[in-house]
Structure 1
Amino acid sequence: MSAQFSRARTVRSAVRPVAAPDAVTVEPPADGRDLPTVVRPKEADADLVAWATSGKEWLCAKLLEHRALLFRGWQVSDAATFQRFVAAVSDGEPLQYRDRSTPRDEVGDNVYLSTTYPAAERIELHNEGTYWTAWPQKLFFCCLTAPPVGGETPIADNRRIKERIPAAVRERLERLGVRYVRNYNHGFGLTWQEAYQTDSRAEVDRYAAANDTRTEWLDDDHLRTVQIRPATRTHPVTGEQLWFNHAAFFHVSSHSPQVREALVAALGEDGLPFGTSYGDGSPISDDDARAISEAYRAEETAFRWAEGDVLLLDNMSVAHARRPYEGDRKILVAMTDPVLGAPADAEGER
């Protein structure tokens, strides 16, 4: 496939001359987990932004080695500090959430609160932007308020997830790709105005055409979109073929039986807010979707958030989720370092 990726460059800083590895301790994941690797400062008053600016090359190499880094003990207490850290270790500006699937509240320049979603419900494991034509390589989280109960952000290694999926299911999705169908402005889910951040139908059509998305305007303001995407993507540095899709996440079986029955009765299979099938349009069976979901769950690991934590993921390698919680929870999110992908990676995409 064709992809663009800018390798990290060292950014010199007179603020923090100490070499990056000498200023921190790098700890393996706790409690037998595989992820994340913890990076702590040796000095209690260390400045995360200054340290990261002087040690960007080392930090990016560690991210590629471990795929998930948890920065703990740095006392990041506000969105402005988090945003400066994101800028220090990224190439270019944070990405905008466009063609979004969930509500997002922006707190800075393309820095968002994590998905606005009922606290009592779980968000399943997924990667950001798998159905986009340019997705983030780096994904950042920052905990400003840790909930007293629950609210973890589980993560899982996509390389291991892929190996757990039954070979027949994996091979068919790799060969045919994933077909995503979404419906807007029919009384369920996001409106197209919120998803695409515009009130202009013409702007939606222009964006869709530039991003390999087919649009169909139904019943006045009702929009249906169709996207066909590969089930796996090639890591731009390592060359690994990584499991990278929402095939099970958006599948009709992801709803409870009661909600599924009500939605299908009201809207029909083609009218659901989200739906997935194989790239040639043939249905993904409930059993196939369940096997994929079980592979994700088997690799899930989680840690308790502490206020001031910053989590940096290689978004192509590591999926993330959210567990239910009680009390207040404030987690910031940013995406950077876009990777451009070719839809033709999937044989089923035409």
Structure 2
Amino acid sequence: MLFKLLRQSYWKSSSQATWMKMRHSYRAERYRDYSTSYLKHDGPVPPLSVPVQLAGRKFLPGSWHHQFPQQLNNPQSDFPHVVTPSNTTDTAKLSLTDWATVVRQYLDDNLTKYGAILVRSLPIQNEAHFSHLVSQLKYNPQSYKGGLGYRQQKLTNVMTASDEPKEYSIELHNEMAYLPNWADLIIFYCKTPPALGYGGHTCIAKVSDYVDRLGQDIIQPFLKRGVRYQCHLFSQDSIPNAYLTWQQSFQTKEKAEVEEFCTNAGYTYKWDDSENLTYYIDLPAAVNHSKTNQLSWFNQIYQHTPTYTVEHPSFENIDIPLDKHLCQCYYGDGGKISEDTLFRMRSINWQVAVGFEWQTGDLLFLDNVLVQHSRLSFEGPRKIFVSIMNY
């Protein structure tokens, strides 16, 4: 009824109605032309040219499990969704700032639909170009303070994707899901692709595909009880191995800054006599998407446990108690999660993952709530950079 009253008052004169219809038509036409003239979708990403072994892969956690898939899946028909510049004279005239406007509009229209969009053949030759493009996309940068991955800040809004040892495979995950302030958008830029047959794939998985296979016996307890993420970070002065320190994670050497961060974020924390830090937070296993408001499974349950770190090269010859490993994960009420559940979860997750082969200059845009990502071990050169953003 309210909508009808608004509509009747809005179109009270025929001349005004005619003008408004023309204005709406002009805007729609301009919007439609703008979003389709510069980027085109040519079809699916090509299948993997070289099979990629998963089962039994060294330093890939759980790859020995009986449910673990033998090989990585090929891309799906529209996952990732790939676009390239249209073959027009106007396209060649676009600056990086222009391309940022084009790409931003395409993402606004399509990213929540596809989850992963691969943009190829833009005029991006280095991380400085990437930094400029990302800055012009006008998203909100997400701080990585409190993050648990090895990364280096390179330029504005640009970090190395990962500085983990190249022989290690990073598991599928939603970025920063163990934090109360996670990221909405992950943007990868490929400067140097790994050679074919030498690994280094950035694998991705739809969260919806993963959840469809998990089963209610796994899902419901986490939905009801929540998830507790606990971390133990050694001080740089006492660490017995080469893994992450609290100084690296929180990007400071001041304990007071760490305590302020933990208090503001809602962590429970404590220091031991050697100034090592243990802290935890209880979070839900699913969140509402910031744009669609739809509930989505969003967590890092099996990745946030010693079953992840014990198969890391840094821990290969280190003997420390499991409760001193980087991460622990429990049900939100403190209950223990069985190892059978953890290994079933990671095996099922890899069953739905797909891979593609990087090309120089590729940009991969991921909705972080809808899509997980990972990195397989590799040999030889490989340079991938990342930008972490919010809508």
Q: Could you say which TM-score interval applies, normalised by the shorter chain?
A: 0.7 to 0.9
Q: Does 1:181 align with 2:230?
A: yes
Name which of 80, 85, 91 aligns with 2:128.
80
Asked whether the equivalents of residues 140 and 335 of structure 1 are also in contact (C-alpha less than 8 Å), the reply is yes
Q: State the shift of 1:239 in Å.
A: 2.5
Q: Does 1:164 align with 2:213?
A: yes
> What percent identity do the matched residue pairs reach?
29
Name which of 157, 162, 175 aligns with 1:128.
175
Higher Rg:
2
Shift in CA distance, 228/105, structure 1 to aligned 2, threshold 3 Å? same
1:152 maps to amino acid: H
Question: The residue matched to 1:312 in structure 2 has which SS?
Answer: strand
Name which of 323, 329, 337 aligns with 1:270.
323
Asked whether the equivalents of residues 306 and 326 of structure 2 are also in contact (C-alpha less than 8 Å), the reply is no
2:36 maps to amino acid: P
Partners of 1:85 and 1:206 in 2: how far apart? 33
Shift in CA distance, 18/107, structure 1 to aligned 2, threshold 3 Å? farther
Shift in CA distance, 310/54, structure 1 to aligned 2, threshold 3 Å? closer
Deviation track 1:260-293 (CA, whole Å, cap 9, x = no partner) reads: 8987x632x4322111111111111011111211
Shift in CA distance, 262/181, structure 1 to aligned 2, threshold 3 Å? farther
Q: State the shift of 1:48 in Å.
A: 5.1
Partners of 2:122 and 2:115 in 1: how far apart? 20
2:266 maps to amino acid: D
1:204 maps to amino acid: V
Aligned pair count reads 319
Q: State the shift of 1:257 in Å.
A: 7.2
TM-score (norm 1): 0.85
Asked whether the equivalents of residues 70 and 310 of structure 1 are also in contact (C-alpha less than 8 Å), the reply is yes
Name which of 286, 290, 302 aligns with 1:232.
286
TM-score (norm 2): 0.76
Q: State the shift of 1:28 in Å.
A: 4.1
Q: State the shift of 1:256 in Å.
A: 5.0
Name which of 38, 47, 67 aligns with 2:115.
67
Q: Does 1:216 align with 2:270?
A: yes
Q: Does 1:53 align with 2:107?
A: no
Q: State the shift of 1:253 in Å.
A: 2.4
Partners of 2:103 and 2:216 in 1: how far apart? 41
Partners of 1:316 and 1:258 in 2: how far apart? 26
Question: The residue matched to 2:269 in structure 1 has which SS?
Answer: strand
Shift in CA distance, 255/102, structure 1 to aligned 2, threshold 3 Å? closer
Q: Does 1:96 align with 2:140?
A: no
Q: What's the Cα RMSD here?
A: 2.3
Q: Does 1:303 align with 2:360?
A: no
Q: Does 1:23 align with 2:35?
A: no
Question: The residue matched to 2:290 in structure 1 has which SS?
Answer: coil
Structure with a larger share of its residues in helix: 2
Q: State the shift of 1:127 in Å.
A: 1.0
Q: State the shift of 1:146 in Å.
A: 0.9
Shift in CA distance, 335/257, structure 1 to aligned 2, threshold 3 Å? closer
Partners of 1:99 and 1:318 in 2: how far apart? 22
Asked whether the equivalents of residues 154 and 301 of structure 1 are also in contact (C-alpha less than 8 Å), the reply is yes
Partners of 1:42 and 1:312 in 2: how far apart? 19
Name which of 82, 85, 93 aligns with 1:38.
82
Deviation track 1:117-148 (CA, whole Å, cap 9, x = no partner) reads: 11111001001111222221111000001121
Q: State the shift of 1:250 in Å.
A: 1.5
2:353 maps to amino acid: E
1:153 alignment counterpart: 202
1:22 maps to amino acid: S
Structure with a larger share of its residues in strand: 1
Matches within 5 A, 1:185-204: 185=234, 186-188=239-241, 189-204=243-258
2:390 alignment counterpart: 337
Asked whether the equivalents of residues 81 and 118 of structure 2 are also in contact (C-alpha less than 8 Å), the reply is yes
Moved more, 251-260 or 291-300: 251-260
1:117 alignment counterpart: 164
Partners of 1:237 and 1:206 in 2: how far apart? 30
Q: State the shift of 1:255 in Å.
A: 4.6
Deviation track 1:56-87 (CA, whole Å, cap 9, x = no partner) reads: 33431111221111011113111122122222
Q: Does 1:205 align with 2:241?
A: no
2:215 maps to amino acid: P
Partners of 2:304 and 2:279 in 1: how far apart? 14
Unmatched 5+ stretches in structure 1? 1-16, 339-350
Unmatched 5+ stretches in structure 2? 1-31, 48-74
2:257 maps to amino acid: E
Question: The residue matched to 2:268 in structure 1 has which SS?
Answer: strand
Q: State the shift of 1:218 in Å.
A: 0.5
Question: The residue matched to 2:261 in structure 1 has which SS?
Answer: helix
Partners of 1:277 and 1:296 in 2: how far apart? 19
Partners of 2:167 and 2:346 in 1: how far apart? 20
